[in-house]
Amino acid sequence: MKTVRTESGNDALLQREADEAVRILRAGGILLYPTDTVWGIGCDATNADAVQRIYDLKRSENKKSMLVLCASADMVVRYVNRAPGIAFEVMEMATSPLTLILPGAVGVAENLIPDEGTLGVRVPDHAFCQRVLRGLGRPIVSTSANITGEATPERLQEVAREIVDGVDFVVNPRFEGKPTRKASSIVAFGEGGEVQVIRE
């Protein structure tokens, strides 16, 4: 009986933290938050002003460093309209964090989309991220929590003070879960099903 109460208590805390993150995102704010890989900086992927704040914070306008997290494949297809079916089969089979670069980006902030018109997407196996994504109902940006050119921090205590001070909300590290502490694999897909491994 005690175990059940503890779990529901943890669940309530997780939900409260996710609700606060969603409130910040809806207001155009940016987060420092844990993912299934490393700590990231994020915002509502449809809010161009919030996206620009992340570029400014990272001191970079590199659109290819910015991917989005989606709650499910169903959410992914709302934001990429030319992805081949095989990409979703690969997504389904992945046993570790995998980012897909997919053609036909639509519906996200224009300043997220590189000249090629692609969008990097990942469906995270992570309780906090999933709560936020489902609460917001839209993708959230995920980019490493570092100044461009500096090392990618694996843990919150490794994140530079400039980054911590530059966001609107730092998620409690108790909701970190069990991250891999390394960047995801990246595979790019062409409209015709062409496949290119960018990072293993």
| DSSP line for 118-144 | EEEEE----HHHHHHHHHH-S-EEEEE
Classify strands 98-103 and 185-189 as parallel, antiparallel or unpaired.
parallel
Confidence of residue 93 (pLDDT cuts 50, 70, 90): very high
Q: List pLDDT tens digits, range 12-61.
A: 999 999 999 999 999 999 999 999 999 999 999 999 999 999 999 999 98
Instruction: Give which of 58, 31, 51, 26 is closest to 119, Cα–Cα.
Output: 51
- Walk me through the domains of the chain, giving residue ranges and CATH numbers: 2-199 (3.90.870.10)
Give the CB-side neighbour count of residue 162, counting CA atoms within 13 A. 9
CA 194 to chain centre: 24
CA atoms within 13 A on the CB side of 31: 29
Identify the DSSP state of 105. B
Backbone angles phi, psi at 105, to 5 degrees: -65, 130
Please state the pTM of the whole predicted model. Answer: 0.93
Question: Is 45:84 a contact under the CB 8 Å cutoff?
Answer: no
| pLDDT grade for 63, boundaries at 50, 70 and 90 | confident
- Amino acid identity for residue 105 in this structure: A
Amino acid at 154: E
pLDDT, average across residues 104-131: 97
Q: How many CB atoms lie within 10 A of CB 116?
A: 12
Cβ contact 148:60 at 8 Å: yes
Q: CA-CA distance, 182 to 85, in Å (whole number)?
A: 27
Residue 2 has which token pair? 């005690």
